[in-house]
C-alpha cells in the first residue's frame, strides 16, 4: 500500500514545454517532501525539497507547488530540455521516523527535441 500516490506514470513533452508531475498523500504526519531525479543506470539524486509550511519553492527551472489542505504537491519543470529526460520520484518523510522516506511509484519524463 503506497502512502504517496504519484501520477502520471509517464509523459512526453516537447522541448520548452512544462511537464507537471503530481503526488498525493494521506498521512498528515509527513513533514518533508523531496523530489528525486534518476537517470538510467544511476541512483536517485535529490532535486528539490519543500516543507509543508511553504506553498512554493523554486530552484532553477524546477518548481514545487504544495497544497497542504488538499494534501497534494507537484513538480513543474519550466522550459524543459532533452537533458531533463529521466524518471522523477516524489517522496515524503514521517516526523520522528529516523529520516525514512515513503516514495511514489515514479514518473518517466521524456522531453523530445
Partner 1 sequence: NAGVTQTPKFRVLKTGQSMTLLCAQDMNHEYMYWYRQDPGMGLRLIHYSVGEGTTAKGEVPDGYNVSRLKKQNFLLGLESAAPSQTSVYFCASSYSRAQYFGPGTRLTVL
Residues at the interface with partner 1 (CB under 8 A): 2, 6, 9, 32, 34, 36, 41-46, 49, 89, 93, 98-101, 103-106
Closest CB to partner 1 among 59 and 79? 59
Cell 507547488: give the residue. Answer: 65
Distance between CA atoms of 54 and 58, rounded to whole angstroms?
11
Do residues 65 and 74 make contact, with C-beta atoms less than 8 angstroms apart? yes
Closest CB to partner 1 among 32 and 62? 32
Provide, rounded to whole angstroms, the least separation between the CB of residue 4 and partner 1: 8
Measured CA distances, 49 to 2, 15, 89, 97, 112 (Å) = 20, 24, 11, 17, 26
Provide, rounded to whole angstroms, the least separation between the CB of residue 68 and partner 1: 18
Provide, rounded to whole angstroms, the least separation between the CB of residue 13 and partner 1: 21
Provide, rounded to whole angstroms, the least separation between the CB of residue 41 and partner 1: 8
Closest CB to partner 1 among 17 and 103? 103
Do residues 18 and 77 make contact, with C-beta atoms less than 8 angstroms apart? yes
Closest CB to partner 1 among 42 and 58? 42
If we measure between CA atoms, which residue out of 110, 52, 48, 44 comes closest to residue 82? Answer: 110
Amino acid at each position: 500500500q503506497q502512502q504517496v500516490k504519484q501520477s502520471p506514470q509517464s509523459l512526453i513533452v516537447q522541448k520548452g514545454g512544462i511537464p507537471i508531475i503530481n503526488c498525493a498523500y494521506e498521512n498528515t504526519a509527513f513533514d518533508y517532501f523531496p523530489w528525486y531525479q534518476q537517470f538510467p543506470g544511476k541512483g536517485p539524486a535529490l532535486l528539490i525539497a519543500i516543507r509543508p509550511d511553504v506553498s512554493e519553492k523554486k530552484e532553477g527551472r524546477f518548481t514545487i507547488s504544495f497544497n497542504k489542505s488538499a494534501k497534494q504537491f507537484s513538480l513543474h519543470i519550466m522550459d524543459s530540455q532533452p537533458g531533463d529526460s529521466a524518471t522523477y520520484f516524489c517522496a515524503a518523510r514521517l516526523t520522528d521516523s529516523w529520516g525514512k522516506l515513503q516514495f511514489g511509484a515514479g514518473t518517466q519524463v521524456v522531453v523530445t527535441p
